């Protein structure tokens, strides 16, 4: 039987690629094992990781800058707060500074897990941060500036979480935890402002 080039081509087109998933969409064990051996330098970032890592790392670096600017602003407020009401408010500033620091650490660690580099260049921190470094004119003004900064952080984290969606559930879960704390911080300052006596 004559085996023409045309026949060979027809066979090649009609040949189905080996199925990598079953009818429920689960990947075969062979494919899982094969994929795991490819791109080992990416560590935890595997075949099913679909989000653009560069974009996400850039967004996380913005959040990292924000957290650091918040640490610095809280510490500045902690050391310079004075007046009759200062002690309990100072304690609040210090507690928040420590918590923002822990957020920064979580974010930096995640950036490294994703194969990125945490950008802690102090020369560009305030420009990259969402929240501002406001010194505040007096104790009440400091509290107000911190409430504003927390509200900025809340909005930017919520946007980032929504953008990530289900494409990176680990990062999303981490950010959801941070967001919940920023909401608590904002609530603390709202309570302080609501009960404020004097200037």
Binding site for Fe ion (CB under 5 A): 67, 100, 103, 150, 182, 185
Cβ atoms of residues 75 and 143 within 8 Å: no
Name the minimum Å distance from CB 117 to Fe ion.
Answer: 20
Please, which residue, 7 or 102, has the CB nearer to Fe ion? 102
Name the minimum Å distance from CB 12 to Fe ion.
Answer: 57
Query: Is residue 11 part of an annotated ligand binding site?
Result: no
Query: Is residue 77 part of an annotated ligand binding site?
Result: no
CA pair distance 59, 55, nearest whole angstrom:
6
> Quick one: 36 exposed, middle or buried, by C-beta within 10 A (0-12, 13-18, 19+)?
exposed
Name the minimum Å distance from CB 111 to Fe ion.
Answer: 15
Name the minimum Å distance from CB 70 to Fe ion.
Answer: 6
Please, which residue, 85 or 154, has the CB nearer to Fe ion? 154
Please, which residue, 130 or 185, has the CB nearer to Fe ion? 185
CA torsion through residues 72, 189, 171, 103, sign: positive
Cβ atoms of residues 153 and 65 within 8 Å: no
Cβ atoms of residues 131 and 69 within 8 Å: yes
Name the minimum Å distance from CB 96 to Fe ion.
Answer: 6
Please, which residue, 97 or 139, has the CB nearer to Fe ion? 97
Query: Is residue 67 part of an annotated ligand binding site?
Result: yes
Helices (H), the chain: 5-14, 29-36, 53-80, 86-113, 125-128, 139-164, 169-194
Phi, psi of 150 (to 5 degrees): -65, -40
CA pair distance 66, 126, nearest whole angstrom:
8
String of DSSP letters for 36-48: HTS-GGGTT--TT
Query: Is residue 109 part of an annotated ligand binding site?
Result: no
Please, which residue, 172 or 185, has the CB nearer to Fe ion? 185
Query: Is residue 182 part of an annotated ligand binding site?
Result: yes
Residues tagged in the binding site annotation for Fe cation = 67, 103, 150, 182, 185
Residues tagged in the binding site annotation = 67, 103, 150, 182, 185
């Amino acid at each position: 039987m004559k085996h023409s080039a045309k026949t060979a081509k027809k066979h090649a087109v009609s040949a189905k690629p080996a199925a990598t998933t079953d009818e429920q969409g689960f990947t075969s064990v062979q494919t899982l094992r094969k994929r795991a051996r490819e791109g080992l330098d990416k560590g935890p970032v595997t075949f099913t990781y679909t989000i653009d890592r560069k974009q996400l790392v850039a967004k996380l670096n913005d959040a990292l800058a924000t957290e650091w600017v918040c640490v610095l602003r809280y510490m500045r407020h902690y050391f310079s707060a004075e007046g009759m009401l200062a002690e309990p408010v100072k304690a609040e500033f210090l507690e928040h500074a420590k918590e923002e620091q822990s957020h920064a650490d979580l974010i930096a660690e995640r950036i490294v897990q994703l194969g990125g580099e945490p950008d802690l260049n102090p020369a560009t921190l305030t420009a990259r941060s969402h929240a501002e470094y406001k010194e505040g004119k007096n104790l009440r003004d400091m509290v107000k500036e911190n409430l504003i900064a927390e509200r900025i952080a809340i909005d930017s984290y919520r946007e980032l979480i929504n953008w990530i969606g289900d494409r990176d559930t680990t990062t999303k879960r981490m950010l959801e935890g941070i967001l919940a704390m920023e909401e608590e911080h904002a609530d603390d300052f709202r309570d302080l402002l609501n009960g404020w006596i004097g200037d």
